[in-house]
Structure 1
Amino acid sequence: MRHMAGEIRHKSYRYKAHTSWTGERRGVVVAMGRPEIPVGSPPEFRGDGKSWAPEELLLGSVNTCILLTFLTLIQGRGVTLVAYDSEVGGLLEHKEGAHQMTEVTVRPHVTVASEAELATARQAMDQVEPRCFMSQSIKARVTVEAQFAAAET
């Protein structure tokens, strides 16, 4: 099947990761060819708080997906990204008999090269959440509260 330039191909992909218990309430996660990530329970769930908790990994995954989706959306649209820093927060609640992340708020601070690029950057960010596969894959409500600045004013 031929695809025109710029056309997005929709494919399916499979990903794998392996988790091993290392003792107490800790373990490691590894994916092929990547460094191990030490994981464990956060202090509120009887962990020592020295490793990445699943809650933090989930938030980090959503935050990273928002960044990468934004980069995809501004590509070729005349936006020169100067800086991008983002904080993410989540609310874990006990609902329906189990703990679940119910809210995720991503707060990117985006700096583009000039004021002329701000509108395009904002338009791209408005499209990010519904196109981010991580935010579309979780039950939590995901909100993006972006702030923008221009390096040249």
Structure 2
Amino acid sequence: MEPFPHHYRVAANGKPTGSITCQNEQGVDLPVNSPRQFGGEGEDWSPEHLLSASVVSCFILTFRAVAAASRLDWSSIACDIEGTLDKVDRRMAFSGFKLGVTLTVPTGVDEERALKALAKAEANCLVTNSLICPVRLDPKLLVDG
């Protein structure tokens, strides 16, 4: 890992209507528009979906690191996330995220240890640690067999 601080840059441009284009440092474009709830067509990623995707993808990547460091054997992880946007103190904001996680492990893996690794990943995810709203982890464990 590189020493801190790390910096991440995104460029964005748009016109009076239609999608805006966000571009990362490698030049990869991502069209972004309002979700249907705000009058968008719902075809592109929205800021709301991007934040939700940031939470869930950061969780999985953090879990990979936690599992590797603890030498936890696992087969797959599948997640779904629901972010709730609401009025918080008379301002629109996310009031919470529900993160459903299904972790599949091989037969013989200590299930309690696997669940602890999921909890540690949630506690150490840099995106969830940057949010002011809660993220509720709903873990499920499956055993290959």
TM-score (norm 1): 0.86
Superposed, 1:14-33 pairs within 5 Å as 14-33=7-26
Moved more, 9-18 or 60-69: 9-18
Residue matched to 1:47: 40
Q: Deviations over 1:46-93 (max 9, x none)?
A: 111111011100000000111111111110433222111100001100
After TM superposition, which residue ranges in structure 1, 4 or more long, deviate above 6 angstroms? none
Superposed, 1:83-94 pairs within 5 Å as 83-94=76-87
5+ residue gaps, structure 1: 1-7
Q: 1:63 aligns with which of 34, 42, 56?
A: 56
State the secondary structure of the residue aligned to 2:75. strand
Residue matched to 2:114: 121
Q: Which amino acid aligns with 2:119?
A: D
State the secondary structure of the residue aligned to 2:106. strand
RMSD: 1.8
Structure 1 pair 121–25 and aligned structure 2 pair: CA distance change class (3 A) = same
Separation of aligned partners in 2, 1:83 and 1:91: 27
Separation of aligned partners in 1, 2:27 and 2:139: 31
Separation of aligned partners in 2, 1:134 and 1:87: 16
Q: Which amino acid aligns with 2:33?
A: G
Separation of aligned partners in 2, 1:18 and 1:112: 40
Q: Which amino acid aligns with 1:98?
A: R
Contact 1:77 1:120 in 2 (8 A): no
Separation of aligned partners in 2, 1:34 and 1:117: 43
Structure 1 pair 34–112 and aligned structure 2 pair: CA distance change class (3 A) = farther
Contact 1:78 1:117 in 2 (8 A): no
5+ residue gaps, structure 2: none
Separation of aligned partners in 2, 1:13 and 1:118: 35
Contact 2:85 2:95 in 1 (8 A): yes
Separation of aligned partners in 2, 1:37 and 1:23: 18
Contact 1:29 1:37 in 2 (8 A): yes
State the secondary structure of the residue aligned to 2:49. helix
Report whether the alignment pairs 1:75 with 2:68.
Answer: yes
- Percent of counterpart pairs with the same letter? 20
Separation of aligned partners in 2, 1:40 and 1:25: 7
